[in-house]
Structure formats: C-alpha cells, structure tokens
Chains A and B, each alone.
Chain A
Amino acid sequence: MAQIEEKQSNEGGKVRAKKQSTAVDMTPLADLGFLLITFFMFTTTFSKPNVMGLNMPPKQPPIDNPIDDPVIDLTNSISIIIGGDGKLYWHQQDKTKLTADQLHETSYSKEGIRNDILAARQRAKTPDNFTVIIKPTDESTYENLVNVLDEMEITESSRYGIVDIAPSEIAVYEEKSGTSSNN
C-alpha cells in the first residue's frame, strides 16, 4: 500500500483507478465447444440408408383355360440362376430344354454377369423387349438377390422379374454345381 501511494505521489497527477483488462481467457470455452461438437458429430446420423424399389406383379387370378404360351424369341431374354455359395449362372434356353452345357457359370464381378447381360442384350433381336428373368434358388441369400437387382440398375435393364425357379432348372443347376464343385 505504501508503495502505491509513493507511486501516485511521484506522478503527481489525479488518482486514477488502474484500468483492468476485460480480456477473459477463452481457451476453456473453445475446448468445451469442440468437445461437444465431436460428440454430436459422432452421434448424428447423417447418412440415411438407401432404398431400392421393387415392384412385384399383382396376384394373377387362376385361368380356367390356359392358352398356349406365345412363341417367345429366346434371344430376347436371359435367365439368371442365383446359386448358393456366391455362385451365379445364366442361360438363354427354354426352361424345359435346358442342359448343363447351356448353363453358363459366371460371377458377381464387373466382368461377370454385367458383361453377360450386356452381351445378351446386344444379341437380342428386339433389344427393346429384352427381359432379364431372375431365378434365385433356395440356397441363395438375400444379399445375392440384392446384388443381382443392383446389376439391373447398373446395366439399365428396366424389364426384369423375379420368378420361382422351375424344377427342371433346379435339376440342371444341381447337376452343374455338383460337377463344378468336383473340379
């Protein structure tokens, strides 16, 4: 106290209150802010899952007198058989006349089914009518199906359908997958 008085007397001026700086240390405030930001960034759900539309044909009333199937040009359609263990097959035959030699094995890779679909569409006599028929077997998984549906999107095949596999095709598929697993 004595010192202060001395100082004041030296200056000889008016008695002034010392100016206190009003600068508050903002560092903890900034720290806290960033901490909370981090928390909210990790808990927030920005990326919503995507959805893929799937329309199934409406239920058909049973037909009393089934008319003969119209003649279908087989080049205008491709049947994809989804097997178990990530196996994938395709053919362009009538389901009753299919043989193991005509069932081609392919894969989910870019060079696999995608090229096969595109090539089949090139060969189609009327590409506008080109239809992909998806036939999952009982061993296939939901993921396999979604992957194939995905290929429909990528290859821009707008005409496709999911159909139950015919018993004759199952027989050929089992023959084919049996022989291919022995190799």
Chain B
Amino acid sequence: MARVKPKRQGVHLDMTAMSDMAWLLLTFFILTTQFKKPDIVPVTTPSSVAETKIQDGDLIRITINNEGKYYFSIIDDNNKIPILEKMGQKYGITFTDAEKRSFMKVSEIPVRISALKSYLNLSDGQKQEQIPGIPLDSTDLQLIDWVDFSFEQDPDLKLAIKGDVKTQYPEFRDLIKQLVERDFNRFQLVTSSEAKPKN
C-alpha cells in the first residue's frame, strides 16, 4: 500500500495588498517630491542649531563658494525675467526670448552681466565649465545691483546667504558691508541642521 502523501500546498501569497500599499506610497512620493535643480557650484554649508526651515518662495540667494566667488540665485521663477530685464536695462543689454528661456533654467548666475548673454547661448555641458563668479569690489558692484533690482521687483523678498565651510571671513564681510551700505540689513544664513545640545 502506498504511503499517504500529504498534499503539496502551493505557497502562493496574495500579493494584492502588498502591491496596493506599494503603489499608494509611490503616489505619495511622486506628489511630494520636488526635483532639486542641480547646483552649479558645490557648496558645503556649515551646520547650526537653527530650527527655521528655509522658505523657497520669495527668496534670493547669494552663494559664496570656497574660493570666495559670488553667485546669485533668484528662487522664484516669476521674478526671474523682470529682474533680468531691469539688469539688462541698466547695463544696456537686451536679451532675446531664447536667452530668457535659457535664463529660466539657470539656478545660479555664475558670470558678470556683460558675459551673461553669451553664457546663456552655451549648451548645457559648456555651462558647467563657465563659473567665474560675479565680481564684487568697490569699482564693480553688479552683485549688489542684482539684489537692488530684486527688491525693487518684490519688496517682500528675503535675502539668503549660502556660504561654504571653507569660505574665508573677509569675503563674507565684504559682501555684508556692501549690502549694509545699500540698507539691506536682514540676512538669512543657510546652514544644515544639527541637534541642539540639551542642557
């Protein structure tokens, strides 16, 4: 007599619930994700215990990299073109529609205004190599002009300063000095977060 073999049970799990959950989470991540625009200039920010989160909306940002070069960013897309036009007006440069479209994609303005037009016509790959910075010295205050026109466009803007860990203090001081000179006294220093010590 043959032995009674236990009937082979298939190990089929119902994957429907798991799949449902996965797609639900996926939907959440798709909806909340914001693709970071690639930074032209790599900057490591120092850490601080400050708890205020940065507000992306009405913000302009000056980045100082480790070599002490200055870059200017307009975060709000709606303000970008009017500010560019005002800058162009002051320095006698008119931008074509194609250049304006190209400007919309620029997250950090890396060149002086006179070189901006040719910079905007470069291909994306070439743009990566062109980051000489915006000049800031007593004879050429373009950077401050950018700030000036930004506030003219939108007085509610906030001015953030993003410095690198290795930025030397004199570069920061010169920037602050020139800004205070034009009555911009409130700054937000961008830092990464750090736990506040308890005691």
Q: Which residues of chain A have a CB within 8 Å of any CB of chain B?
A: 23, 25-27, 29-30, 33-34, 36-37, 40-41, 43-45, 47-59, 82, 110, 136-147, 149-150, 153-154, 164
State A30–B19 Cα separation when bound (angstroms): 4
Question: Contact check: which of A44, A140, A141 meets B34 at CB < 8 Å?
Answer: A44
* A26 and B18 in contact, given A33-B26, A40-B26, A138-B168 (Cβ under 8 angstroms): yes
Set of chain B residues within 8 Å of A154, measured between Cβ atoms: 49, 196-197
Number of interface residues of B (CB under 8 A): 57
Q: Return 29 A-B CB contacts under 8 Å, by A number.
A: A23-B12, A23-B14, A26-B15, A29-B23, A30-B22, A33-B23, A37-B22, A40-B26, A44-B32, A44-B34, A49-B45, A49-B190, A50-B48, A52-B52, A52-B188, A53-B50, A53-B189, A58-B183, A138-B168, A139-B169, A140-B168, A140-B169, A142-B165, A143-B163, A147-B48, A149-B189, A150-B50, A153-B49, A154-B197
B190–A51 touching, CB < 8 Å: yes
Closest to A144 in B: B169
Given A50-B54, A56-B180, A56-B186, 16 further pairs, Cβ under 8 A:
A30-B15, A33-B22, A33-B23, A40-B30, A48-B53, A50-B53, A51-B54, A52-B50, A53-B50, A53-B186, A54-B161, A141-B165, A142-B166, A146-B48, A147-B46, A150-B50
Set of chain B residues within 8 Å of A49, measured between Cβ atoms: 45, 53-54, 190-193
Residues 72-127 (chain B) with a chain A CB within 8 angstroms: none
Closest 4 CB pairs of A and B: A33-B22, A26-B15, A40-B29, A142-B167
B50–A50 touching, CB < 8 Å: yes
Residues 17-67 (chain B) with a chain A CB within 8 angstroms: 18-19, 22-23, 25-26, 29-30, 32-36, 45-46, 48-54, 56, 64
B52 to chain A, nearest CB (A): 5
Q: Which has the most chain A C-beta neighbours within 10 Å: B26, B172, B188?
A: B26
A141–B168 touching, CB < 8 Å: yes
Set of chain B residues within 8 Å of A58, measured between Cβ atoms: 180, 183, 185
Q: Which has the most chain B C-beta neighbours within 10 Å: A40, A47, A51, A52?
A: A51
